[in-house]
Amino acid sequence: MPALLPADTPRTLRLLPLLHRRFHWSAWEALIRCQGYTLDRPRRASHPRYPEIIYPIDYGYINGTLGTDGEAIDLFVGTVDLGLVGLLLTHDYRRHDRECKLLYNCSPEEIYLVNGFINFDRTLMEGWLVLRHPMHRLWLRAEREA
């Protein structure tokens, strides 16, 4: 995956649509279903090192994977059966690392919630949202699932 750049650079704006097209959405969704995931921070849990940070939805990792930070690939898990709906490319300025966090079974509201959570204080962490499908399609699918 290319290095993440500040969000306002022209190169970043070109890379996000490219990532959307080249990301193997179906393969990652199948991997999540096959390998399963572990939730280590349930909704409303505090961050282990920063107790003032509260997770808005379930958060964990995909079993049997390894991310760019040397740990399992992170995953936000929502409440609607929509499969893999998006990802967030993140830059954690405290840890000086960059990661990809996947959004699985998230409703449109939960997608907005997670995006706001990651980007709440951009001096600490910044994220770039890439959706698998346009948001209006996710709203329609979520309404059918409800």
1 domain residue, yes or no: no
Reported as a single tens digit per residue, the pLDDT across 21-79 is 778 999 999 999 999 999 999 999 998 988 998 999 999 999 999 988 889 999 999 99
pTM: 0.86
Structure tokens at 48: 């282990």
5 domain residue, yes or no: no
81 domain residue, yes or no: yes
Residue 55 to residue 110: CA distance in whole angstroms: 12
The answer to whether 35 and 62 are in contact (CB under 8 A) is yes
Number of separate domains in the chain: 1
Among the listed ranges 3-7, 50-54, 142-146, which one has the minimum average pLDDT value? Answer: 3-7
Q: Which domain holds residue 48?
A: 10-145
Closest of 39, 99, 55, 109 to residue 73, by C-alpha: 99
Q: What is the maximum alpha-carbon separation in the chain?
A: 41
3 domain residue, yes or no: no
138 domain residue, yes or no: yes
83: region left, alpha or beta (phi > 0 left; psi from -120 to 50 alpha):
left
